[in-house]
A and B are shown apart, each in its own frame.
Chain A
Amino acid sequence: MSIRVIQPGVQTTVQDLGRFGYQQYGVPVAGAMDPHSMKLANILLDNDPGEAVLEITIMGPQLLFEEANYVALTGGDLGATLDGQPMPRYQAVLIQPGQTLRFLGLRNGCRAYLAFAGGLDIPVVMGSRSTYLKAKMGGFQGRKLEAEDVLRFRAPNLELPFPERRRLGADFVPQKQYELRVILGPQDDYFTEAGLATFFKEVYTVSAEFDRMGCRLEGAVVEHKNGGDIISDGIAFGAIQVPSAGKPIIMAADRQTTGGYTKIATVISADFRYLGQLKGGDKVHFVPISVEQAENSLFLEQQYYQMIIDFFNRDRNMS
């Protein structure tokens, strides 16, 4: 036995980078809402950056460890404690059998990511360990965690190289107003000039309807030329749908593969780290950039990961 779930929290699911290759069959990708925080948690533990982790939402679980292993906690601050003491975030922590990880309440962000050295023993379904809740697919029995569930480690690693070096500054920093960079399209030509101007000028507020499927926004109506319905096409992670009522919805990890609403723009991949941390009441503002600029941000992020990996493993061959 590895981890016993004492309290499950609001929505704790197993996620990796998602289920690719089946969108043409109508299977949503799912995967971590904030893939950046997920990758950092894994990199801290010398895991593959895409290893499956626990995605913990708003009110976290209470987990009793029954086996030792290194873990790392990243993302939003959900008030984690280990045996009553503050649980360090953004670093490798060795947990001993009998220790309890609890989450006292949300301090900032929306989702925390808990990675385990060597990963979790979760079956791969259609190429992924991600949970897709709506079709009860993947993850831990296709559902969020419940009390008395027992999760097993796949290959716990107590010999993690240079554990003392494996720490980062708190990477997620909450903001009064999140600036989300977007690429215009695919249906930007379905909106009036005034509509496009509104979309980029106004500040939008995340409504109470925000989940793994999407994030509904409140704020100024974005004007269409001829309504918001289209003959269905594909939907990307971060696509911003604007139905005829004019209120934008940012589509997220559990989005359906296809849909029949106009999409004005798409949030760039490098900003999913903010998209995945949005919750009701948060403010967002959209900024248009080119696809080349978006690609450059993605490459910078990739270089950052490589720099950390190199630092954690420096002198490894000499030890």
Chain B
Amino acid sequence: MEQVRFLLTGDTSLSVEFGNEIKESINHDIRAYKIALEKAEIPGIVETVPTYRSLMVHYNPRIIRNGELKEKLEKLLSEMGDIEIPPSPVLEIPVLYGGEMGPDLPFVAENAGLSEEEVIRIHSGTEYLIYMLGFTPGFTYLGGMSDKIATPRLQQPRVKIPAGSVGIAGSQTGIYPIDSPGGWQLIGRTPLKMYDPNRETPILPEAGQYMKFYPIDQAEYDRILKEVEEGRYQLKTHERKEA
């Protein structure tokens, strides 16, 4: 972490920059630093925002000034070796692939020269790193999809894509957290609500965690959907085994 830079982003936030590329190790550094910062409980910090390259730290300048905060953040960086960082959890996301829920699965399969079953097996066989959230509430930028199922976006974007839709755009995959227009190739849908403003945890995924999709059938989709709607569904997670 020797090239960490502290960048000015106005008078109520600053950016701690760990790198300038999309890279798993940079994401791990940012996650570790965020956890260390939360443990340090520095007064005046309002919230932190991890991105591909940096951790943005929002603070209240009436409680802590930029210079003092920067000193504390630098000191924390030098102490990183002593802080224990728990392994990343993997969020298990059930997906009903194909059919009405994933109208573009046949196209994705044809484009890849694979069967639909093979596309599902590849898509659900990877633990995707959540690099960051942004764009809309709850939208995850995932890394690690196999190039074998990479597919160009739709030429004509859809006007409304239902929340929970799982799609592919180029070499990216992701979930639409809210109903929105979009041009991703839709291959399935999760019954989970990735975003629910009235839930205690409004948004489920966090940057630095991993996400794994697993295929379900219509009956299981309906059962999970009912549990989600009744507020009974518990998101399943497992600990990531270090590669």
Contacts and interface: CB of A to CB of B under 8 A. Distances in A.
B136 A234 contact: no
Given A26-B137, A266-B8, 7 more contacts: A20-B46, A27-B137, A186-B7, A231-B53, A233-B52, A239-B10, A302-B62
Contact of A268 (B11, B50, B138): B11
Nearest to A26: B133
B3 to A, nearest CB: 14
B207 interface: yes
Top 8 A-B pairs, shortest CB-CB distance: A234-B56, A266-B10, A258-B134, A185-B8, A186-B7, A25-B203, A294-B11, A26-B133
A231 B22 CA distance: 7
A25 B177 CA distance: 11
Contacts of A135: 136-137, 178
A126 interface: yes
Interface residues of B, number: 45
Contacts of B67: 291-292
B54 interface: yes
Interface string B136-179: 11110100000000000000000000000000000000000110
Contacts of B58: 20, 23, 236
B49 A23 contact: yes
A259 B66 CA distance: 23
B9 A236 contact: yes
B20 A231 contact: yes
B87 interface: no
A183 interface: yes
20 contacts: A24-B133, A24-B206, A24-B207, A26-B135, A26-B203, A125-B198, A126-B202, A138-B197, A185-B8, A186-B9, A231-B22, A231-B53, A234-B13, A234-B54, A256-B134, A258-B51, A266-B9, A268-B10, A268-B11, A295-B65
Contacts of A25: 133, 137-138, 202-203, 206
Interface string A255-277: 01111000100111100000000
A291 B10 CA distance: 7
B104 interface: no
Interface string A292-310: 1011001100100000000
A299 B61 CA distance: 9
Interface string A236-261: 11110000000000000000111100
Interface of B: 7-13, 15, 17, 20-22, 46-54, 56, 58, 61-62, 65-67, 132-139, 141, 177-178, 197-198, 202-203, 206-207
Interface of A: 20-28, 125-126, 134-135, 137-138, 183-187, 230-234, 236-239, 256-259, 263, 266-269, 291-292, 294-295, 298-299, 302
Given A25-B133, A258-B132, A299-B62, A186 B15 contact: yes
B64 to A, nearest CB: 10
Given A186-B15, A231-B22, A24 B47 contact: yes
Given A184-B8, A266-B8, A256 B135 contact: yes
A48 B75 CA distance: 36
A125 B12 CA distance: 23
Contact of B134 (A125, A185, A232, A267): A232
Given A135-B178, A137-B137, A234 B49 contact: yes
B196 to A, nearest CB: 10
A269 B10 CA distance: 8
Contact of A298 (B11, B137, B207): B11
Contacts of A126: 197, 202
Contacts of B11: 183, 266, 268-269, 291, 294-295, 298
Contacts of A184: 8
Contacts of B198: 125
Contacts of A236: 9-10, 12-13, 56, 58
Interface centre among B9, B47, B52, B198 (most CB of A within 10 A): B9
A54 B17 CA distance: 38
Contacts of B207: 24
A224 B134 CA distance: 25
Given A234-B54, A258-B132, A24 B10 contact: no
B49 A291 contact: no
Contacts of B65: 292, 295
B52 A231 contact: yes
